[in-house]
Amino acid sequence: MPAPHPALQRLADAYAAWWIDLLGEHNHVGGLETTRWLLQRAGLAPGKVMLDAGAFVGAAARLAAAETGCRAIAADLNPEFLAAGRELPGGRAVQWVAADSRRLPFRDAAIDSIWALDTEVAYHEFNRIAAPGATLCLCCEAPSDARGGLDAFIDDWEQAGWLLAAHRPLSAEAAHTWRTAEAELVRRRPYFEERYGTRTYLRQLDLVAYLVQAYERGEQGHALFVFRRA
Ligand SMILES: C[S@@+](CC[C@H](N)C(=O)[O-])C[C@H]1O[C@@H](n2cnc3c(N)ncnc32)[C@H](O)[C@@H]1O
């Protein structure tokens, strides 16, 4: 595996967080491959505005700006993540905004494509800032049962004026991602325990173990969605 960019390595060193250490810059289930799957369906082009909400280091925003020529904005609660993202390849082409996804500093109907990848899905704000015809690209927890939960999830968005354009189940991939992370934390325990401290290490391991169990029991699922504003 290539060494991480120094800006990303600095973040990994500063934060005791399994998800920074083990998932990398495309910090969601499926990584770069699922970012690309969404990008192919997002309807982005020069002149369009894309918002990567809860962006971490803005991997999706940087890729969207580089590959479609759109105006890309990366927003996150944590300004240190944004500062690192600006240093990563393509970072100069993106606008970086420290903001909570639940209170976004954008005008009504200002955004053509809203992305929320494994982060807060801020239902009311996303409805407010979406332009007519906008896309909403989600990588998120979604009901995995066959008893109507997924249909209800999609219905909620459709009732808010979003039509489903594409859907890809990701529960098996998510379960594999969490299992791999758990195994890695256990296998390299001395390394992570030294970096995080014992209490934080055990807490991180608990969090991942909880995820593994929830996905294995089928209580939780994951999916990609692209909705289009009617
Ligand atoms: C697992 S990372 C996913 C990052 C990115 N979307 C990606 O896929 O690479 C979650 C990110 O969401 C951010 N976050 C969590 N809650 C947020 C909120 N309410 N508003 C803005 N950012 C948030 C965290 O700071 C973190 O950077």
User: Ligand 1: which residues within 6 Å by Cβ?
Assistant: 19, 26-28, 54-56, 59, 76-78, 81, 100-102, 117-120
Find which of 3-17, 40-54, 141-155 is predicted with most confidence, using mean pLDDT.
40-54
Residue 1 within a domain: no
Q: How far is the CA of 78 from the centre of ligand 1 (A)?
A: 8
Q: Which of 18, 104, 119, 204 to mutate to test the pocket of ligand 1 (most atoms within 8 A of CB)?
A: 119
Domain holding 204, by residue range, is 174-215
**pLDDT of the residue at 144:** 78
Query: How many angstroms separate the Cα of 87 from the Cα of each of 98, 108, 210?
Result: 16, 30, 34
Residues 136 and 201 in one domain: no
The residue to which tokens 């810059």 are assigned: 25
Q: Which of 36, 56, 82, 100 to mutate to test the pocket of ligand 1 (most atoms within 8 A of CB)?
A: 56
Residue 28 within a domain: yes
Residue 197 within a domain: yes
Residue-averaged pLDDT of the chain: 96
- pLDDT (average), residues 8-33: 94
Kindly give the pairing relationship between strand 221-229 and strand 130-142: antiparallel
Which CATH number goes with the domain that contains 107? 3.40.50.150
**pLDDT of the residue at 1:** 65
Q: How confident is the model at residue 147 (pLDDT cuts 50, 70, 90)?
A: confident
Residues 107 and 203 in one domain: no
Torsional class of 218: left (φ above 0), alpha (ψ -120 to 50), beta (otherwise)? left
Q: Count of domains in the chain?
A: 2
Q: Which residues contact 183 (CB under 8 A, 6 or more apart)?
A: none
pLDDT digits (tens, 9 = 90+) for 90-124: 999 999 999 999 999 999 999 999 999 999 999 99
Residues 31 and 89 in one domain: yes
Q: How far is the CA of 118 from the centre of ligand 1 (A)?
A: 7
- The set of long-range contacts for 65-70, using a CB threshold of 8 Å and a minimum separation of 24, is 65/90, 65/93, 65/94, 66/90, 66/93, 67/39, 68/39, 68/42, 68/44, 69/45, 70/44, 70/45, 70/46, 70/112, 70/113
Q: Which of 25, 33, 62, 76 to mutate to test the pocket of ligand 1 (most atoms within 8 A of CB)?
A: 76
- Dig out the tokens for 32 from the structure: 């770069």
